[in-house]
Structure 1
Amino acid sequence: MTTRTGVYPGTFDPITLGHMDIIRRGAKLVDRLVIGVTTNASKSPMFSLPERLAMVQREVAQIEGDVQVVSFDSLLMDFAEREGARVIVRGLRAVADFEYEYQMAGMNQQINPRIETVFLMADVSLQPIASRLVKEIALYGGPIGRFVTPTVAEEVAARVEQIGRKGS
């Protein structure tokens, strides 16, 4: 029997409840879900790659199924091929996400037509959550407990304490 492998890529800086929703649901669609933690040069990460890897590994430890967390620094389609994936799992929050993801899926299809992209709509209650906004709220001293787990909220608060709040 062939193992159906999917890849869910992202920077996860930090991992949010929205990410967790997509991971839980994505894990049900495949036999093995590989969460690919990467660095996006266009983003300024709050956490280093090793810190994000550890954060994601801890947060997904209780999810049922074969869920693995690895880092990658390559084209997504090369990473997916190396992992033996036939599916890329992507979460959608809004129309703006769809336009970007649709274009990326088209480009990825051109690179490797053997790998499909599957879009999962975020739970309605989680749709507004974005890591970028969580960081911005935290940097201005706002509450983020509705968007991340308590442990992640503590880690973000500690990092904000290190780098300093804005608007003080």
Structure 2
Amino acid sequence: MQSNYMNKAIFPGSFDPFHRGHLSILEKALKLFDFVYLVITLNPDKNQRSSFESKRKIVEQQIKHLKNVEILINQDKLTAELAKELNVNFLIRSARNDIDFNYEIELAVGNKAINNSLETILFFPDENNIKISSTLERHKNFYKNKGK
């Protein structure tokens, strides 16, 4: 199915958990791209709290209304290498603040060094999503479930 699309992008993340901020960025990306690979990937800088399959199930539920998205799991490749294998030249990322922005610049440069065809497209969250982070969502879920 996806091979018929010329205008493709890859949206990688640990998505631990996938939240409305991620969904909003994905919806924005689908306004520019015909097809998006949403890649649940291993981030060596973060502790893996949920299994890849449990993350996939959560993402599937939250994006079931969207077309032209394929969920992939990446446990052992650099994103730039995976993009090359998928014949994708655009990488979707997001930045909420100057710390995120500076990190994304470093990441974009590193990805470009690995895959010269890969261009990073940076989306900014809407105002109502700017303070949402996976870390905050995990903390809220932890304390919400602790009382049960």
TM-score by length of structure 1 reads: 0.80
C-alpha displacement of 1:46: 2.9
**Aligned-pair Cα RMSD in Å:** 1.8
- 1:68 corresponds to 2:73: no
Structure index of larger Rg: 1
Unaligned runs of 5+ in 2: none
Question: Runs of 4+ in structure 1 displaced over 4 angstroms?
Answer: none
3-state SS of 2:120 partner: strand
C-alpha displacement of 1:2: 6.0
The alignment-based identity, stated in percent, is: 25
Deviations 1:23-82 (A, max 9, x none): 00111211110000012232223321110011112211102x411111012101011111
Give the number of equivalent residue pairs: 144
Partner Cα separation in structure 2 for residue 70 and residue 110 of structure 1: 23
C-alpha displacement of 1:124: 1.1
TM-score by length of structure 2 reads: 0.90
Deviations 1:117-161 (A, max 9, x none): 0000011110110011111122233xxxxxxxxxxxxxxxxxx4x
Q: Match for 1:111 among 109, 114, 131? A: 114
C-alpha displacement of 1:83: 1.5
Q: Match for 2:62 among 59, 64, 72? A: 59
Partner Cα separation in structure 1 for residue 87 and residue 95 of structure 2: 24
Q: Match for residue 129 of structure 1?
A: 132
Unaligned runs of 5+ in 1: 142-159
3-state SS of 1:9 partner: strand
Partner Cα separation in structure 1 for residue 47 and residue 112 of structure 2: 28
3-state SS of 2:32 partner: coil
Q: How do 1:44-55 and structure 2 match up within 5 A?
A: 44-55=47-58
